[in-house]
Structure 1
Amino acid sequence: MSKQLLLNFCDNQVIIKNTQHEKEVLGIDKFGRIQLFDPTIVISKPKLYMRAVGILGIIRLLSGYYIIVINEADKEGVIGGNTIYKVKSTSVVKIGVDKKGLLPHEQDIEEKLLKRLDSTLKINGYYFSYTYDLTSSVQRGIQKQQEGQNKYLWQNANNEFFFNYYLNEPLIKACTTVDERVGNYILPVINGFFESTLAKINERKIIITLITRRGRNRQGTRYFSRGADEQGNVSNYAETEQVVEFLPVDANDELGNKLASLVQIRGSVPLLWSQCITGRYKPQLILESDAASSPGFAMHFDRLLADYGDIQIVNLVDKRKYERPLGDAFQRLTHSLTSRDRVHYLHYDYHSEAKRAGSSAAIQELVASLAPRLSAFGSYNAISNTYQTGVVRTNCVDCLDRTNVVQSAIATHWLNTLFVAHGVLKPNDYITSHTNIDIVLRNIWADNADCVSMPYSGTGALKTDVTRTGKRSVVGMYNDLSNSITRYVYNNYIDGARQDAYDLFLGKFAITDNYSSLPLSSYSAIPSLSSLSVETMLVLGGVVLASVGLLYQSFTSGFALFNATFSFSSSSSSTGGSVSFIRSILPLAMWSSLIIFGVRLLLQSGRFNELLSWPQLLAYKYRPLPVTSTTRTNTRIKVPYVSDFMNSKFGTYFSTNSHINIHTTTISNTAANTIGGGGIGIGEKRYETFEQSRKLV
């Protein structure tokens, strides 16, 4: 049964009641101060009533504090009798009525920050439970229960996957400074994937559940979040758990209601590296020295060893050309670890092996080579009372497409072994021979691949045809081409805004008491014409005109070209047809040449950078700085990021609105594509080249 919260928004605070269990009432005022009230409190003149099923957290913006509430949630499944919910819609509501106003440009910034926040809330895949720690694997949850020390759900949560942890920091602090019962209102939420489905194999009914928990400590978008940081947090880090629950056949069934689970992890190559966007399809790969990467690399694996036990690395990057430096450095640093006897390294060039043997055969070979290690690591199994003692860490460059294919194959291998061990399958039988459960597994893993890929890359995963069918298909290759083009657009021209949204939601960028007025104006995710230099506008205009000319010429000369070709091939005298053919093809060649020339000019002069979308809330290494100029010339002046203005006392700026501000978000399956709709800019935007920006950082 879901919680029913009643929120009463008053002039200076919001009062929150649990309508089902009125043991205490939570109050949060417009300055972010938290207290508990007696349930009999009389609320005077609330401006707004709102019902909710949970609190996602609170956040401070320029005008004060906002509360983020979960308005609706759908039941997604059950684990061990505990109901799991998926967030369906949320609202961001201002706490308190303000008496003073923001400056006009600050009002604009506030709206842009709210759009950022809303866009992050639109990411598909927020899940929670009132009675189950969804941030933890089944095994970790059992171990925490055995310790039996913590009273509230949030106290057992895995900090890495507690995705709304930053939004709950004020409430968590209040558990110590105000009253521990504030913990009743803290709801840990994961972001990622959850799907639970009933399947049947040889008359045995089972519930198969797949959960992916995305890490929060280094989250972002594809080209703006790569590698590791100095603390060993890696980009696109996620834990994926496949859970099996055996439904009882009869009252004496030993397998009945017992759980088993296998945990795998993924994460970017744990080095200091990045890909600096330049407008090219493959950005410049920047890899720091082994000495620079070593401390964070060691911290990363120390943490994994403490959390999971022994590690089996499966590195899927190419062994040649563009990706080779990553693989070589990964191997060198792995061999230098003091705990290298517990960290096992396998470099498997997926693309080369799939080309050699075919996708299906290559995956089978890889899983067969890993089988002894998988057997040694084991899994959590309530039937045999065993625990998983090691984990497979899989990565490619993005930790999406190749990684998904391999993880699904490992999970299927484990499930097959589990079924054989407990008599569900005979020793020489395989899941792939049982169509019903095989299709269920393939589809649930392909859905997981898309859900994990969307918020990171902007599209669904590639190679999901291999996951769904076991082989490549023409339709699958067409979808991959379409997704690759979409990724290019997002990653180069939109993702700066999406990265800002992550930095705001996860607390990398935060409004504090040291905040001062931001001398900023608004901008869109795609740079406007006013932000471009005259030279760039002229070249870009030429490319656009040439594109229009090419399109027009293609339509108008298509019929003439057909007639010319027919005339050329059928006429007794080919001279007329040949001339007509040349006259038709020359304009097409001319317009095409102008387009190619213009694009090359933009790339070679570095002016393409003016069209690219960069994050602006925080200064990150490898990210060229946005700069401004007062005139339309090539003069470029370095200016700081937004965070660099946060250096003087805040406290005089409040909203001009006399009513409650509500921003409601409804989540759809494709909503991740809408992240970061607005923006925050700095006058006329300019971008340094990468080489120039490195000198400025």
Structure 2
Amino acid sequence: MGTTALPYRDINVHSSPAHYAFSSPSSPSAPTLVIDRPSGDIRLHDGKLLGSKRVSSVAGILGIIKLRLDKYIIVITKAQPMGRIKGHMIYKVVATEFLPVRERPLHDPDEDNYLSLLKTLIKTSPLYFSYSFDITNSFQRQAHLDPSTPLWKRADDRFFWNRFVSSDLIDFRGGLGGVYGRHSSGQQPNVDPYILPVMYGMMEIKNTSIKGTPLTFILITRRSRLKAGTRYFSRGIDENGNVSNFNETEQSIILNDNASGGPGGFGSNQNGAVGGNPGKETQVLAYVQTRGSVPVYWAEINTLKYTPKLQVRGVENALPAAKKHFAEQIRLYGDNWLVNLVNQKGREQRVKEAYEQMVDYLVSSPVDNVEGDSITAERFHLIEPANAQTAYDRLHYIYFDFHNETKGLRWDRAKLLLNQLEPHILKHGYFRGVDMPGDAGRVEVRRHQTAVVRTNCMDCLDRTNVVQSMIGRYILSRMLIDLGLMHEGESAEEDQAFEFLFRNVWADNADVVSKSYSGTGALKTDFTRLGIRTKQGALQDLSNSITRYCLNNFKDGPRQDAFDLFLGTYLPSDDGIGGQLLFADRRPIFIQSIPYILAASIFFILVGSLTRRAPEATIWPLRLLLLLSLVTAGMCLSFVWGNGTLYVNWPKLNRLPAQVESYQETLSKVSHHAVVGPLVGTRHERGKSDARLLGLEEGKKRIE
């Protein structure tokens, strides 16, 4: 593997009023990357640059982002080792710094808000990277990629989380002559080591043993950067075939991995066992599952009620987008077993029926050549069936009424679903590869996984994780039986020490995926961790549900804005600096004042009720004040509750049509109210965002 294909492990940053210079002390002969100030132009420089001083040493360059006033270079200042995979250390981003390309001569409130959003997002995001191992691709995809190709070119575009902020460096490197740069003319290959792909998700590497056999147990969840967002502000599918909350989860075991070890060194594990047996071949066995939102146009509109207003738009309108989505899924993974856990009664019923209607449309659709979203065939190995099939014949829908089947804390009944899936999981198998001795990076593939189980519930969080961990346990036992490490009929959960580790790793995965989407840890993790439902777990679920309610209504708008900024689905404009005030509250003053009036009324009630008074004091003025405060508080609460859409903290940058429609509808209703209408007036027209909705159609998202 050529050294130029791998990112630098150490980068010194030199700064001067004229430029930033990045160089690797371990590669003194390599050119220096220079970013000129204040233009932001990128160039390579041979030899030393004069007139600059060393500022710091960084772990890597996360990317470059342009806001309204300035460009900022985002550098990783601190990274934490998480463990080794086949000798390659994996790191987690702990701290970053924004280097302004020019000293900001102007003060702009929107620029400050942009920076605050981005810094908070990066600080709270689980970001992972490796200098020498491609963590964005599954082991099966890696086995069919050229290990001499630069790491960023090998990265799976869906999980290359900093792809947008790396675009300046990628464009300078030579642009994209072909898909993902695989056919780039390579004008500036010396830039490759400065491009560091970063994955958003979850990763745990455990050196352990099962029934006396030492192995490395790994769980990786990769979150897609396409249609990424928060729980109620990102639902369903977009016109490009991307679904919300799409995650690929890969569970793998590595046998005889002498190079694996914890952050502290090689080969050690929690139980004191050695990480492998010298002289034996290193084997990797891996199984991939996916989750993603129901692929139709649907939305949930926050109204401050605990259950938002559900909208399912025309299923036929979403058919072209669903075709793109599943064409890509089939090309990437083979057959898709679509496990739907949405309730068949109540408010979720409409989403269930829409999904089933969509699948019916797809499997009965005529043969057509639907291209996946910028996916090239040579990147992914796919075993085609001997008999020709239409693409969508490889979709297999399974419905399981999770809540109904497991009611009364009968969580063991979830295995009814596993019994239904078992023959198909066995038929399509898992990936098994063996490292080729003396040929670094080459893998002999002995078995392919030719299908994937794609699981969803409403949020693709709690129910989904219970089912995925159940499938993960089953496939792990199958791997160990096939390897001869266990007898037929035995299960990995019989090893109590490993079962404890397994449950907690999967519960950690549930919490990470849930927190990134809903803002809190997952529900039902007591079942994942302990195998039973407990009262303490139920209380924790209640706490998480209340926290989710508050976050989803009052905090997720700015978080959605941060995702849109970092991932490039919103591009800041430098027009009208200091005049637009995108983040200003443009609601009518009366609407804004209601919560303050409510707070003041509650304050007077508390003061009037708790303050001691002199015996000779007149009582009726105090009672009148309390009565007025009670009436005012009641009216304010009634107004807020009845017009909750006006008090949700909506995203300010990319506003979805359904949300804007609901907001304007509520505002119009208030303005026509006999009592409140005159106080609101018609000035609320300022708050309309029609200009931002140009070109948006129902169920579609703005194309970059």
Query: Structure 1 residue aligned with 2:41, among 33, 51, 64?
Result: 33
- Residue 161 of structure 2: aligned partner: 163
The 3-state SS of whatever aligns with 2:307 is coil
- What is the CA distance between 1:295 and its match in structure 2? 0.9
Structure 2: distance between partners of 1:311 and 1:82: 32
- Residue 513 of structure 2: aligned partner: 452
- What is the CA distance between 1:550 and its match in structure 2? 7.3
- Residue 634 of structure 1: aligned partner: 681
Query: Structure 2 residue aligned with 1:92, among 75, 98, 102?
Result: 98
Change (3 A) 1:462 1:250: closer
Structure 1 counterpart of 2:49, which letter? V
How does 1:296-375 map onto structure 2 within 5 Å? 296-337=321-362, 338=365, 339-355=391-407, 358-375=409-426
Structure 2: distance between partners of 1:548 and 1:452: 43
Structure 2 counterpart of 1:489, which letter? C
Structure 2: distance between partners of 1:516 and 1:553: 51
Verify the 8 A CA contact 2:8 2:194 in the aligned structure 1: no
- Residue 563 of structure 2: aligned partner: 502
Structure 2: distance between partners of 1:133 and 1:378: 23
The 3-state SS of whatever aligns with 2:300 is strand
Structure 2: distance between partners of 1:165 and 1:265: 21
- Residue 239 of structure 2: aligned partner: 230
Structure 2: distance between partners of 1:538 and 1:270: 39
Verify the 8 A CA contact 1:313 1:345 in the aligned structure 2: yes
For residues 155-192 of structure 1, what are the alpha-carbon distances to aligned partners after superposition, in whole Å with 9 as ceiling and x for unaligned?
11100000000000111111116512211100000000
Verify the 8 A CA contact 1:316 1:350 in the aligned structure 2: yes
Query: Structure 2 residue aligned with 1:270, among 292, 295, 302?
Result: 295
The 3-state SS of whatever aligns with 2:169 is helix
- What is the CA distance between 1:119 and its match in structure 2? 1.1
Change (3 A) 1:302 1:465: same
Structure 2: distance between partners of 1:466 and 1:591: 47
How does 1:228-307 map onto structure 2 within 5 Å? 228-247=237-256, 256-307=281-332
Structure 2 counterpart of 1:281, which letter? Y
The 3-state SS of whatever aligns with 2:447 is coil
Change (3 A) 1:295 1:158: same
Verify the 8 A CA contact 1:10 1:97 in the aligned structure 2: no
The 3-state SS of whatever aligns with 1:440 is helix
- Residue 31 of structure 2: aligned partner: 24
Change (3 A) 1:284 1:474: same
Query: Structure 1 residue aligned with 2:497, among 436, 450, 470?
Result: 436
Change (3 A) 1:592 1:447: farther
- Residue 145 of structure 2: aligned partner: 144
- Residue 593 of structure 2: aligned partner: 537
Change (3 A) 1:37 1:639: same
Structure 1: distance between partners of 2:693 and 2:396: 46
State whether structure 2 residue 488 is matched by structure 1 residue 427: yes
Query: Structure 1 residue aligned with 2:453, among 392, 399, 404?
Result: 392
Verify the 8 A CA contact 1:533 1:634 in the aligned structure 2: no
Structure 2: distance between partners of 1:325 and 1:381: 40
Structure 2: distance between partners of 1:192 and 1:72: 18
Structure 1: distance between partners of 2:576 and 2:636: 43
Structure 2: distance between partners of 1:548 and 1:619: 38
Change (3 A) 1:247 1:350: same
Which range moved further: 428-437 or 261-270? 428-437
Which range moved further: 332-341 or 438-447? 332-341
Structure 1 counterpart of 2:138, which letter? S
Change (3 A) 1:517 1:189: same
Query: Structure 2 residue aligned with 1:609, among 629, 640, 645?
Result: 645
- Residue 668 of structure 1: aligned partner: none
State whether structure 2 residue 656 is matched by structure 1 residue 600: no
Structure 2 counterpart of 1:44, which letter? G
Change (3 A) 1:543 1:59: closer
- What is the CA distance between 1:123 and its match in structure 2? 2.1
For residues 88-146 of structure 1, what are the alpha-carbon distances to aligned partners after superposition, in whole Å with 9 as ceiling and x for unaligned?
11101102446xx33x4xx221111100110111123100011111110011011113x
Structure 2: distance between partners of 1:517 and 1:644: 18
Structure 1: distance between partners of 2:426 and 2:413: 20
- Residue 675 of structure 1: aligned partner: none
Structure 2: distance between partners of 1:307 and 1:352: 33
- What is the CA distance between 1:290 and its match in structure 2? 1.4
The 3-state SS of whatever aligns with 2:568 is coil
Change (3 A) 1:309 1:539: closer
Which range moved further: 389-398 or 588-597? 588-597
Structure 2: distance between partners of 1:11 and 1:463: 55
Change (3 A) 1:184 1:323: same
Query: Structure 2 residue aligned with 1:622, among 646, 655, 658?
Result: 658
Structure 1: distance between partners of 2:535 and 2:548: 20
Change (3 A) 1:200 1:334: same
Verify the 8 A CA contact 2:605 2:630 in the aligned structure 1: no
Verify the 8 A CA contact 1:271 1:297 in the aligned structure 2: yes
How does 1:98-113 map onto structure 2 within 5 Å? 101-102=105-106, 104=107, 107-113=108-114
Change (3 A) 1:250 1:464: closer
- What is the CA distance between 1:523 and its match in structure 2? 5.1
Structure 2: distance between partners of 1:471 and 1:642: 51
Structure 1 counterpart of 2:80, which letter? D
Which range moved further: 165-174 or 22-31? 22-31
- What is the CA distance between 1:12 and its match in structure 2? 2.9
How does 1:635-654 map onto structure 2 within 5 Å? 635=682, 636-639=684-687, 641=689, 644=692
- What is the CA distance between 1:489 and its match in structure 2? 0.7
State whether structure 2 residue 471 is matched by structure 1 residue 473: no
- What is the CA distance between 1:154 and its match in structure 2? 0.6
Structure 2: distance between partners of 1:121 and 1:284: 31
User: Across the two proteins, how many residue pairs are aligned to each other?
Assistant: 599
- What is the CA distance between 1:294 and its match in structure 2? 0.8
State whether structure 2 residue 172 is matched by structure 1 residue 116: no
Highest RCO, 1 vs 2 (Cα 8 Å, sep ≥ 6): 1
For residues 531-581 of structure 1, what are the alpha-carbon distances to aligned partners after superposition, in whole Å with 9 as ceiling and x for unaligned?
56436635763476358747986999xxxxxxxxxxxxxxxxxxxxxxxxx
Verify the 8 A CA contact 1:377 1:389 in the aligned structure 2: yes
Verify the 8 A CA contact 2:60 2:75 in the aligned structure 1: yes
Structure 2: give runs of 5+ residues left out of the alignment.
Answer: 1-6, 176-186, 258-273, 366-390, 435-444, 613-624, 672-677, 699-704
The 3-state SS of whatever aligns with 2:125 is coil
Structure 2 counterpart of 1:601, which letter? F
Verify the 8 A CA contact 1:236 1:266 in the aligned structure 2: yes
The CA RMSD over aligned residues, in Å, is 3.2
TM-score norm. by structure 2 comes to 0.79
Verify the 8 A CA contact 1:617 1:642 in the aligned structure 2: no
The 3-state SS of whatever aligns with 1:165 is coil
How does 1:36-75 map onto structure 2 within 5 Å? 36-38=44-46, 40-46=47-53, 49-75=55-81
Structure 2 counterpart of 1:534, which letter? F
TM-score norm. by structure 1 comes to 0.80
The 3-state SS of whatever aligns with 1:341 is helix
- Residue 687 of structure 1: aligned partner: none
How does 1:527-606 map onto structure 2 within 5 Å? 533-534=589-590, 537-538=593-594, 541-542=597-598, 545-546=601-602, 549=605, 598-604=636-642, 606=643
Structure 2: distance between partners of 1:204 and 1:285: 50
Structure 1: give runs of 5+ residues left out of the alignment.
Answer: 557-586, 647-690, 692-697
